[in-house]
Amino acid sequence: MQMHCAQVREHGDVDHLLLEQVPIEQPATDEVRVRLRASALNHLDLWVRKGVPGHRFPLPLIPGCDGAGVVEAVGDGVDEAWIGREVVLIPGVSCGHCTHCRDGNDMLCPEYGILGETRHGTCAETIVVPERQLLDRPEGISWEQAAALPLSALTAWSMLRKARLTTGDTLLVIAAGSGVGTMAIQLGKLLGARIIATGSSGAKRQLAKDLGASHTIDPADPNWWKEVKSQSDGEGADVVFENVGQSTFEGSLRALARGGRLVTCGATSGSQVKVELNRLFFKNQQIIGSTMGRRDDLNRLLRLQQQGLIEPVIDSTFPLQQIHTAHQRMESRESCGKIVITPWKD
């Protein structure tokens, strides 16, 4: 039996994303096979395709970290009752028994990996994963919505918690149109913050407002950070939510209040940034790095989704055979929210 998938054999432009047919894998001990009903793209998929200097991905590799589907086969040691269950995949894979895993901080596990980065991912018709990657799909949530939530919601939630965002804080969300940005606004609002967001297009700024931002800023103006100050009685933002890096970082630091926390999970525009240390320590500020989050938190986020308190913003949906168009759209930076991949259509 064969399945369709998108696979990276060599890094490069969008043509290096190969549509191939590969044998369907049998689940080994403690593993299950899931027939995917929807997957979602993340910026990580672009890094996997293009490559990252100094980093080796295990090629050939099927990208895709997010997915939801139906369990169709189980390996030894897995209860057959799983077969037919509708599930959402936990994107982070960890050993499950080291100190960090036992403490619930699975993203600190020395063996931590991500679907579609360290092992085959979800841009395929099926995926084999350890049983412990499965969570039940929340009732009443569409396949597309279920697949669009995990990585961006978990990342955003974890960042806001690490930055100790609290009621009454001003939260500045950089790049509100990204998957994590749209989640940060919704979660920030739930945590009682006042939200200012940057968006590089009118559509992205409007989306930020619709999601609950009280003020939006066009980052094209080199002094955009001054507007954060003027919108917060000259104080600046208590928490800055960064995922852009080089092109916005200096402004993000300038927008930060005394005692403020800048938290970052990404560097889509480049990772070399300038930090004025005098300003950082005189103002008692913190820069915090964050990647992924605790698997327990994903349960909480799925509950919030089921209660209608958060909802992934879906930009567009493409069947698997149009994944090139999907990648091009994400790379164009025109998308607002998540790009979802649905099963191959003959």
Interface residue list for Zn ion (CB under 5 A): 94-95, 98, 101, 109
Give the pair of three-digit tokens for residue 15: 């043509």
For residue 50, the SS3 value is helix
Please state the closest distance from residue 98 (CB atom) to Zn ion, in A.
3
Please state the closest distance from residue 103 (CB atom) to Zn ion, in A.
10
**Nearer of residues 112 and 157 to Zn ion, judged by Cβ:** 112
**Nearer of residues 109 and 183 to Zn ion, judged by Cβ:** 109
Q: How far is the CA of 293 from the CAs of 14, 145, 250, in angstroms?
A: 29, 19, 26
Distance CA 190, CA 186 (A): 6
Please state the closest distance from residue 68 (CB atom) to Zn ion, in A.
24
237 contacts 228 by C-beta, under 8 angstroms: yes
Please state the closest distance from residue 99 (CB atom) to Zn ion, in A.
8
Q: Which residue has the tokens 């350890």?
A: 130
**Nearer of residues 41 and 107 to Zn ion, judged by Cβ:** 107
Q: What's the burial of 190, exposed, middle or buried (CB within 10 Å: 0-12/13-18/19+)?
A: middle
Please state the closest distance from residue 105 (CB atom) to Zn ion, in A.
9
Distance CA 241, CA 8 (A): 31
**Nearer of residues 95 and 280 to Zn ion, judged by Cβ:** 95
Closest residue to bound Zn ion by CB: 109
Residue 74: beta bridge partners? 32
**Nearer of residues 109 and 320 to Zn ion, judged by Cβ:** 109
